[in-house]
Amino acid sequence: MSEPLVLGIETSCDETSVGIVKGRKLLANIISSSVEEHARFGGVVPEVASRAHLEAIQPVIKRALSESKVSLKDIDAVAVTAGPGLIGALLVGVSAASALSLALDKPIYGVNHLAAHIAVDNLNNNQAIKPTIALLVSGGHSSILQVNDLTGDISILGATIDDAAGEAFDKVARLLGFGFPGGPLIDREAKSGNREAITFPRGLSQASDMLERPFDLSFSGLKTAVSRYLVANPNSNRSDIAASFQEAVVDVLLNKAIKATIDSGIETLLIAGGVAANSRLREVAQERCEKAKIELRVPPAGLCTDNGAMVAALGSLAISSGKPPSNLGLSASSSTSATQILF
Ligand code: KG4
Ligand code: ZN
């Protein structure tokens, strides 16, 4: 099938989202977030997220259908995030997708959330995703991947050994008293700060690290450095700290991702996941990739954080590359590796 009409369901964390795509064209992407219910806890509470998904899933499916002017009987397949993510949250999406698949007698594709973050860049353009290095930076995961074939062959070149990049943004935002989720707040605050005010450490970037584990990442030392700086300088300018912290994260991520791209001989770097929405990461990536003559691909900021369109995009790719659907007994798995693309 060349241009399948796919409905994609995402419920791995705190966004209940349904996207509808036809081939590579995005028709609708509806997101209902429970983030405000978690804010006072400073992080996502799994039980609260599951309950919110249960309440939101049906209205979100209905809105996506009405926005795209698609009727359920026209859907060719249902795609759903089956992992990784919060197990109770994932199960709501997988159950809804299984029910739709059964009722409509249409195939179901369980897809990997991490690969779906990359697949979203296949929408609304005429440049299909080629073999690429992917810098995947979200709230739960951070890794550098070699993507030879997005529906069949992904290998992990390196990953974080402690916090994910988004997690580091969220924890440092909490230290700075900015609220949750911290990434967008630090991004905004950093615009009025001096990014050279403080030189924070760049994790796993010493010469020996770059030889032994060049593509692994670490952010917990950076978080501790910010915390110590705040204790030693309680009246320091919060915007300067935000800008200097963000600069350290961006610097490390791009140093490593660009080295991976050059070393692998692949011409493209794709940046995906929630942290790919960061304005400074996008700006510096543009500059450095131009200099290194690397083709840079970054999805529109609004499609970097969790959404259903990315799930539908990967489902659509799976169908057009002839991959078999999942069994109806499809379950969810909380700790799926990026290498397991389809379920
Ligand atoms: O991909 P995502 O929506 O969820 C996961 O799969 O984890 O990523 C969420 C993460 C959060 O940690 C959030 O703070 C971060 O992405 N994030 C950002 C920005 N927007 C979202 N981090 C830095 N700058 C941003 N503009
Ligand atoms: Zn995500």
pLDDT category, 307, cuts 50, 70, 90? very high
Write down the pLDDT at residue 20: 98
Enumerate residues with CB within 5 Å of ligand 2 (an ion). Answer: 138, 306
* Predicted local distance difference test score (pLDDT) of residue 328: 87
Q: What's the gap between Cα 269 and its chain centre?
A: 15
Indicate the pLDDT class of residue 2, thresholds 50, 70 and 90: confident
- Ligand 1 contacts CB of residue 17 (under 6 A): no
Digit-coded pLDDT (tens) for 154-208: 999 999 999 999 999 999 999 999 999 999 999 999 999 999 999 999 999 999 9
Q: Is the Cβ atom of 84 under 6 angstroms away from ligand 1?
A: no
Which pLDDT tens digit goes with each residue over 220-244? 999 999 999 999 999 999 999 999 9
Ligand 2 centroid to residue 114 C-alpha, Å: 7
* Residue 117 banded pLDDT, cuts 50, 70, 90: very high
Q: Residue 40 above 90 pLDDT?
A: no
Give the position of tokens 């400074």.
280
pTM, rounded to two decimals: 0.97
pLDDT digits (tens, 9 = 90+) for 91-109: 999 999 999 999 999 999 9
Per-residue pLDDT, 11:
98
The pLDDT confidence band at residue 334, using thresholds 50, 70 and 90, is: very high
Contact in structure between 106 and 97 (CB atoms under 8 Å): no
38-61: average pLDDT: 95
For residue 9, give both structure tokens.
Answer: 């369901």
Model confidence at 1: pLDDT above 90: no
CA of 215 to the centre of ligand 2 (A): 20
For residue 286, pLDDT over 90 is answered with yes
Is the shortest distance between the CB of 277 and ligand 1 below 6 Å?
A: yes
Taking alpha carbons only, the member of 272, 189, 201 closest to residue 238 is: 189
pLDDT above 90: percentage of residues in the chain? 97
Is any atom of ligand 1 closer than 6 Å to the C-beta of 306? yes
Any ligand 1 atom below 6 A from CB of 216: no
Q: Compute the mean pLDDT over every residue in the chain, rounded to the nearest whole number.
A: 97
Distance CA 166, CA 208 (A): 26
Residue identifier of the C-alpha nearest atom 18 of ligand 1: 183
- Residue to substitute in 38, 275, 307, 334 for testing ligand 1 pocket (most ligand atoms within 8 angstroms of CB): 275
pLDDT at 29: 98
- Above 90 in pLDDT, residue 63? yes
For the chain, strand residue ranges (E) read 5-10, 15-22, 25-33, 77-83, 108-112, 132-137, 142-149, 153-159, 268-272, 295-297
